[in-house]
Amino acid sequence: MSISVGIDKIGFYTPGLYLDMAELATARGEDPNKYLIGIGQSRQAVIPPTQDTVTMAANAARQILTPAFKADIAMVLFGTESGIDNSKATAVYLAHLLGLSSQTRAIELKQACYGATAGLQLAADYVRVHPAAKVLVIGADVARYGLRTAGEVTQGGGAVAMIVAANPQILALESESAYHTEDVMDFWRPTYRTEALVDGKYSTNVYLDFFKTVWHDYQQQTHRTIADFDAFVFHLPFTKMGRKGLRQILPEAQPEQQETLKAAFEASQEDNRNVGNLYTGSLYLSFLSLLRHGQLAVGNRIGFFSYGSGAEGEFFSGRIQPDFRKGFDDAALTRLLAQRQRVSVAEYETIYRSQLSDDGRDTQLAIGEETASYYLAGRQNQQRQYRQR
């Protein structure tokens, strides 16, 4: 008999600053409803220079790691497209910061916003072969498009940390999945750039086409239909994107089920709407949002659509487990989001421009406002200086 493998715990971190999207719209000469309704974003995380993908991942992982768990972690799979080094993996910095055993594999995975899904699927396959092992899977990014660009409203940042294990508390993954890769230039970031290049409208179309393809392939593979699902979660670079995805398949459902799926989508976009884009963590923040705000029951089947520009898409599914509420700290997440401070557009622009420079010089960052457990204190001798309080 095959063992049950999937997501045992989920942690999430985003920094303590946000920008109001109605305010940004006004500053950019747009109607606020374009951002609030047309794009579907209310707030956007603002990332101070003292947080990067490594520290955000450490702050997310900290929520779910106990000493016993740490000892069992065999592998760290870190999905990111905004890593801090072209050679050394963010996963190695992270394993050190978290105090994991040196008998750990630690690797960084990159395929735009698909990286964390690659991590999740590779982790699940590993645990199927080594059922006593636990794998820490990370999706962490800073989504930066540039001031006054069309993509500015779809920025954000944060990290999702997941433990993949046998007999998981939250979600048992089903082993079938459908994936699709094509060489497409819809969004990319050459190594000499800090902001992505994107053809947003083209990317939206590729996303929807890939969803159609993998949803169709998944149905052929499994002989399941939309009637077998209780909710769908989507990669959400902005919440309207997932809404378009759901609309594409809703006509396949009976009217009553359409209402259930729409309500589940509203729950799944709630936290993303207030954080913005996490790139590769976005799908998993959306799943966490569904867990937190949705009306889920044990055994519910959830469909996941993962998309990474460039481009790769995957559709897979999992079933909600009896102890799913024990796998995340709902109160801590509510506090994390509620305690954030609003910054003005002028303050956001200053923070945007004050990221660690790319000239390699020694830098000491002002850490007065930083309250996170793990933070970046600066750079010395070309090395990032990470600290824990």
- Catalytic hit among 23, 30, 108, 113: 113
Query: Among 150, 298, 332, 366, which residue sits at the site for ligand COA (rule: CB under 6 A)?
Result: 150
96 is catalytic: no
Nearer to ligand COA, 52 or 186 (CB): 186
Q: And the tokens for 95?
A: 């394993």
Whether the Cβ atoms of residue 137 and residue 161 lie closer than 8 Å to each other: yes
Task: Give the bridge partners for 137, in sequence order.
Answer: 77, 162
User: Residues 215-221: contacts with CB within 8 Å, 24+ apart?
Assistant: 215/178, 215/249, 215/303, 215/305, 215/315, 216/178, 217/178, 217/180, 217/315, 218/176, 218/177, 218/178, 218/315, 218/316, 218/317, 221/176, 221/178
Strands of the chain (E only): list them.
5-13, 17-20, 43-45, 73-79, 105-109, 134-143, 156-166, 171-181, 187-188, 197-198, 231-234, 301-308, 312-320, 341-343, 363-364, 374-380, 383-388
First to last CA, the chain: 46
How far out from the chain centre does Cα 2 lie? 29
Part of the chain binding ligand COA (CB under 6 A), chosen from 46-54, 82-90, 149-157, 220-228: 149-157
The contact pattern for ligand COA, residues 306-345, with x = CB under 6 A and - = no contact, is: -x-x------------------------------------
Work out whether 200 is an interface residue with ligand COA (CB under 6 A): yes
Identify which of residues 154 and 321 has a Cβ nearer to ligand COA in the complex.
154
Q: CB of residue 275 vs ligand COA: minimum separation in angstroms? A: 15
Site for ligand COA in 28-87 (CB under 6 A): 31, 33-34, 37-39
Among 151, 158, 242, 303, binds ligand COA (CB under 6 A): 151
Q: Are strands 231-234 and 341-343 parallel, antiparallel or unpaired?
A: unpaired
C-alpha of 281 from chain center: 1
Least distance between ligand COA and beta carbon 233 (Å): 15
Tokens 């999945």 — which residue? 177
Using the minimum distance from each CB to ligand COA, give the nearer residue, 150 or 298.
Answer: 150
Tell me which of 13, 18, 78, 207 binds ligand COA, using CB under 6 A. Answer: 207
Measured in whole angstroms, the distance separating CA 6 from the mean position of its chain's CA atoms is 17
265-304 footprint of ligand COA as x/- string (CB under 6 A): ----------------------------------------
Cα(55)–Cα(389) distance, integer angstroms: 12
Given the complex with ligand COA, which of 240 and 292 has the nearer CB atom?
Answer: 240
Among candidate residues 108, 152, 235, 370, the one labeled active-site is 235
- Using CB under 6 A as the binding criterion, the count of chain residues that bind ligand COA stands at 21
Is residue 152 among the annotated active site residues? no
Binding span for ligand COA by CB under 6 A among 1-9, 96-104, 199-207, 361-369: 199-207
> What is d(CA 347, CA 8) in angstroms, rounded to the nearest whole number?
39
Shortest Å, Cβ 155 to ligand COA: 9
Q: Using CA atoms, how far apart are residues 12 and 60, in angstroms rounded to an integer?
A: 5
Q: Cα separation of 187 and 256, whole Å?
A: 37
Cα 196 from Cα 374, distance rounded (Å):
26
Q: Which of 81, 270, 312, 370 is catalytic?
A: 81
Q: Is 266 a catalytic residue?
A: no
Segment interacting with ligand COA, rule: CB under 6 A, options 8-16, 90-98, 146-154, 372-380: 146-154
**Site string (219-248) toward ligand COA, x via CB under 6 A:** ------------------xx-x--------
User: Of residues 102, 201, 255, 256, which one binds ligand COA by CB under 6 A?
Assistant: 201
Q: Which one, 21 or 124, has the nearer CB to ligand COA?
A: 21
Buried b (16+ CB within 10 A) or exposed e, 246-256: beebbeebeee
Active site amino acids: 81, 113, 235
Contacts to ligand COA by CB under 6 A: 31, 33-34, 37-39, 150-151, 153-154, 187, 198, 200-201, 203, 207, 237-238, 240, 307, 309
